[in-house]
């Protein structure tokens, strides 16, 4: 019987030896040809990407525009867009161009997009003036004073006025009141808000309606229900209608001694907004 220790010794002797010098030579053997091919491929891909980037980012030369140009000049748009053309097609600041175009008078909104291969396309929406503000200002549908001194103010626009900073409030009141008046066959030619907060409006038939400071909506409705019908046949004789009464209204006549219809007489308390005008 062979002892166990002898068997283990023979197994150890039977294990093959590793040639460390040969292994080192195998590690150092690099496939330079394959490495050169890969490096050349990387360079080729990099060159292609650089060429593509250059082709896509060429300097801009074309400005295309569209919009209903009635008040906005294409020359003015080109003037504010031109400084951005020094950049490339891919790096141009589209948001910056939009902001620059929207600073122009009568421009409400601008949209800018790239137009291949070397241009930008500018779409412009013009402001819509719904009313005058003061002597020469213009308001849009949002009640924004977008032009303070207009060279040409459409005469047909209603005229709004009020303290500084009240443009939006007056515009909102006008849109609400004018809608109600149109339903009654009337139109508002002017609406005023004074420093004390009292409202007054002029109709296109020449009659001034004093609404005062309180219950303006209720007084407007009462004018439409009662006073409008009373003055319908006396328009040429009436200068104003004062709605600042709790149960009625007062009429101002152009001719001295003119009589007031019975339905138009107010109560004896006088205007509730005493001390105000309008």
**Is 77 a member of any domain?**
yes
Rounded Cα distance, 201 and 214, in Å: 15
Question: Residue 14: pLDDT above 60?
Answer: no
The token duo for 99 is: 């902001």
**Is 219 a member of any domain?**
yes
Between 13 and 199, residue with greater pLDDT? 199
Q: Tell whether 190 and 241 lie within a shared domain.
A: yes
Write out pLDDT tens, residues 92-104.
899 999 999 999 9
**Is 277 a member of any domain?**
no
**Is 37 a member of any domain?**
no
The token duo for 52 is: 């593509």
**Is 229 a member of any domain?**
yes
Q: Which among 140, 135, 144, 148 is positioned nearest to 166, based on CA atoms?
A: 144
Q: What pLDDT shows up at residue 266?
A: 44
Q: Tell whether 83 and 175 lie within a shared domain.
A: no
- The percent of residues in the chain predicted with pLDDT above 90, rounded, is 49
pLDDT band at 88 (very low <50, low <70, confident <90, very high): confident
Q: What pLDDT shows up at residue 122?
A: 96
- Range of weakest confidence among 13-17, 146-150, 174-178: 13-17
CATH number at residue 111: 3.10.20.310
Q: Tell whether 122 and 173 lie within a shared domain.
A: no
Q: Whole domain around residue 97: which residue ranges?
A: 62-126
Q: Phi and psi at residue 129, in whole multiples of 5°? A: -80, 125
Rounded Cα distance, 68 and 145, in Å: 21
Q: Which among 216, 221, 258, 262 is positioned nearest to 238, based on CA atoms?
A: 258
Question: Residue 177: pLDDT above 70?
Answer: yes
Could you say which DSSP state residue 142 is in? T
**Is 139 a member of any domain?**
no
Between 116 and 76, residue with greater pLDDT? 76
pLDDT band at 90 (very low <50, low <70, confident <90, very high): confident
Question: Residue 124: pLDDT above 60?
Answer: yes
As for how many domains the chain has, the answer is: 2
CATH number at residue 205: 3.40.50.11690
């Amino acid at each position: 019987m062979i002892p166990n220790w002898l068997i283990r010794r023979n197994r150890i002797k039977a294990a093959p030896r590793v040639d460390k010098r040969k292994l080192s030579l195998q590690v150092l053997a690099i496939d330079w040809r394959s490495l050169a091919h890969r490096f050349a491929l990387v360079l080729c891909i990099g060159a292609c990407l650089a060429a593509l980037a250059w082709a896509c980012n060429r300097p801009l030369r074309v400005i295309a525009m569209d919009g209903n140009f009635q008040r906005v000049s294409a020359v003015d748009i080109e003037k504010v867009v031109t400084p951005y053309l020094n950049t490339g097609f891919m790096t141009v600041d589209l948001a910056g161009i939009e902001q620059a175009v929207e600073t122009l008078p009568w421009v409400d909104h601008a949209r800018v997009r790239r137009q291949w291969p070397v241009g930008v396309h500018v779409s412009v929406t013009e402001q819509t003036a719904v009313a005058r503000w003061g002597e020469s200002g213009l308001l849009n549908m949002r009640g924004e004073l977008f032009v303070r001194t207009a060279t040409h103010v459409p005469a047909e626009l209603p005229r709004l006025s009020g303290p500084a900073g009240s443009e939006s409030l007056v515009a909102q009141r006008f849109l609400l009141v004018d809608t109600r008046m149109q339903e009654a066959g009337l139109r508002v030619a002017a609406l005023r808000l004074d420093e004390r907060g009292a409202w007054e409006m002029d109709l296109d038939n020449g009659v001034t309606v004093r609404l005062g400071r309180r219950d303006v909506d209720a007084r407007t409705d009462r004018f439409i229900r009662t006073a409008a019908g009373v003055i319908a046949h006396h328009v040429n004789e009436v200068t104003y209608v004062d709605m600042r009464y709790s149960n009625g209204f007062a009429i101002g006549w152009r001719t001295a001694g003119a009589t007031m219809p019975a339905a138009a007489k107010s109560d004896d308390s006088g205007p509730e907004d005493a001390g105000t005008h309008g």
